[in-house]
Structure 1
Amino acid sequence: MTSGNNGASTPEDEDPFGYLYADGQANGAQPPSGGGYGYGYPNSVNRSRSVGQRQYGQQQAQAAPTAPYGQVPQQQQGPSGYNQPAAHYAAPETFPGGAPTSQQPMPGYNTGGGRRSGGPNTKGLLIGAIAVVAAVVIGIGIAMANGDDQKDDAGNKPATTPSASQSSEPSASSSAAAEAELPKADAKTMRLEGGTTLASDVKGAKSDGGVYVQGFNQVGASVTWTVNGIKKAGTYRVYVRYSLPAEDANGTMTVNGKAASRPLNMKNFGGLPANEWQETWAQVSLTKGTNTIQLSCQQGNQCNALLDQFTVTENVDQ
């Protein structure tokens, strides 16, 4: 756009400083004179208005009278007698199409003071957060429990080799362990006297080769076992495995030359058929080291029995 009059129909489209340029002066632009805003161009628009008189979209209001400096302008009287502001002091919202006179609620908010209708569900979010925290706590608890189990397993796992203070032999306090380390004798290892002999006709004997002692059914018959390896003196049990061809039987138990006051009872405790094998036991006192145990048929004994193995164990009643 060049300075000068380009045929604009409104003052806003003209250059207010055209008279300052050579081409503006060549077109006849002169400094403004008077209170208007014609800018000195030929045929320019010169409309003088008082401040506050220009209105948009309605009739031009009458200008309010001016007041001396420092005093409030006098207001017009309305038909009701109350003071009303002059037109040039009217707020923008009083004009048609002006600014809205009331605030509009923002979307998603309840103007009644309640929770936002369109906002997030804070209760649901809180429940979800609690569930996440609970899952994390449970996971940590499970991981710690598994770690403790692994530690217990590692601590309970037996060492592959015994340490200097640990014995590789089983403890004598357990009856099963005591049977493993305490002596056991087969029929063929015992001294047979008084007409006793070995036989293997009846099946089921545990002695080596399935042999057992027969001929015990007469007074004076005996079997003697020399027991070695008793680690300490004390009360033990001597188990005798036997079989009954017919009625119940018994015998006299003698330990280190001293006969027991009661006979060893060899009854058919389970009501088994003839020649079935079963066990009985007697409580005896043994010394440390070597002991002699003898089972004999004495006067008053009923000795019709077959004899298999003898075993020494710890006395479980101690």
Structure 2
Amino acid sequence: MTAENNGTGTPPPEGDDDPFAYLYRQEGGAGGSAQQPGVPRRSYAQVRAVGERQYGAQAGPSPQAAPGQQPGSGPGLPPHQPNAHYAAPETMPGGRAAARRQAAAAGGGPGGPRKNRNGLLIGAIAVVAAVIVGIGAAIVFNDDSGKQSQGQSDNNDVPGQDEDKNPKNPKDGDKKPAKDKPKPTGLPSRTDAADATLAGGATKQTEVAKAQSAGGAYVGGMDKPGASVTWTLKDIPESGKYTVFVRYGVPGKDADSTLSVNGKQSDRPLNMSNFAGAKKGDWEAGWAETYSWIDLKEGTNRVQVACGDSNTCDFVLDQFWLKRGWVK
């Protein structure tokens, strides 16, 4: 959109598009009315001053002001005529009160958009408050649930764990106390002499019948000095007095031997007389039993029957066994 002309009816030169040219251009040109000298052109749309026209006024040529007079003054022009496009609220029927009622009816007065905005603000605040309350409740309930679960876990005893809630780490160097080995309550059962430790020419034999050892085996060769049979006694329950029994055989004549306990010889030789009353040379009928009182210690002990230099050593050995105390 460009200015109409320069008041001469001819288009303005290119680049002379001055939007404020109407203030000083003169009306003229084809189809235009002559502009009075000295009076500037008002506008292309004939903009009027405020109050120049009233509602319902008939359109007509605006009276021109004389040279040197301002528009809206002078003869024939009433001052401050109302504009056709504007009317102050106090000029409307009913005055300002009616204007306020009209504005309220249009949604711009009390109870209108301001009231609606207040309601929206209150609703938003209520929503935010509800969200905050919900988050707080969730945190509280979750915390209580965690505490309850922890309490249940603490109250459940782990099998094999003591009441200490912080048991020591096995890697800390603490060793478990060794379990006490149960003490034996019984004595060793009968032991075959052939299963004991043989030395000095003692040998396992089976020629003489009626031996009670397994397989009829017994220990012979006990007619030479230095021959011995050592019986190892394990797990003796307690130290004290015991009686050792020996089953032996002689060929119808008396004999004796040396008895030692844990390497200590007895003061008296072990008696191996012909208690069976067998005839001389009859080994099979010469089986008998003898005993000796000894002292043993708790645990392992060794009892030895040997042929010493001062002994009569023509005998064989079948079995050994023990009894508590000094008995017969």
Question: What TM-score bracket applies, with the shorter chain setting the length?
Answer: 0.3 to 0.5
Q: TM-score, normalised by structure 2?
A: 0.41
Q: TM-score, normalised by structure 1?
A: 0.42
| Structure of greater Rg | 2
